[in-house]
Amino acid sequence: MKAKAIFLILGVILGLKTSYAYQFTEDFVNGIYWRNFPITMKTFVDTASEGSVLSQLISEAEQEWENSTGTDIWSFPDSYEVSNSYSGNYIRWSNNFAEETGYSPISTLAVTIRYRVGTYFTQTEIILNGENAKLRANQNGILYQTILHELGHTIGIDHSEYTSAVMYASLQGIDRLSFDDQEAILALMDQTVERQETGYISALATETRTDKNALACGSVAFINSDDNNDGPGNGALTVVFGFLLTLLFSQLTSTKATGRQKLPILISRD
Using alpha carbons, select from 237, 259, 253, 251 the residue that is nearest to residue 18: 237
Task: For the chain, 270 residues long, give each residue's pLDDT as a single digit of tens.
Answer: 555 444 444 444 444 444 558 999 999 999 999 999 999 999 999 999 999 999 999 999 999 999 999 999 999 998 899 998 999 999 999 999 999 999 999 999 999 999 999 999 999 999 999 999 999 999 999 999 999 999 999 999 999 999 999 999 988 899 999 999 999 999 999 999 999 999 999 998 877 556 677 776 654 333 333 333 333 233 322 233 333 333 333 333 333 332 322 222 222 223
Predicted structure pTM score: 0.74
CA distance readout (Å), 31 to 174, 183, 189, 194: 30, 19, 13, 11
User: Which pLDDT belongs to residue 159?
Assistant: 94
Contact 97/133 with Cβ under 8 angstroms?
no
CATH architecture of 21-217: 3-Layer(aba) Sandwich (3.40)
User: Which pLDDT belongs to residue 213?
Assistant: 75
CA distance readout (Å), 37 to 43, 73, 101, 178, 254: 18, 5, 27, 23, 56
Q: How far is 216 from 213, CA to CA, in rounded Å?
A: 10
Could you tell me the residue ranges of all domains in the chain?
21-217
Longest distance between any two alpha carbons in the chain, whole Å: 74
Q: How far is 241 from 231, CA to CA, in rounded Å?
A: 16
Give the residue ranges of DSSP H helices in the chain. Answer: 2-20, 26-29, 48-69, 97-101, 133-136, 142-155, 179-198, 231-256
Q: How far is 258 from 270, CA to CA, in rounded Å?
A: 34
User: Which pLDDT belongs to residue 217?
Assistant: 67
User: Which pLDDT belongs to residue 209?
Assistant: 59
User: Which pLDDT belongs to residue 249?
Assistant: 34
User: Which pLDDT belongs to residue 76?
Assistant: 96
Q: How far is 172 from 176, CA to CA, in rounded Å?
A: 11
Helix axes 2-20, 231-256, angle to 10 degrees: 150
User: Which pLDDT belongs to residue 6?
Assistant: 44
User: Which pLDDT belongs to residue 163?
Assistant: 92
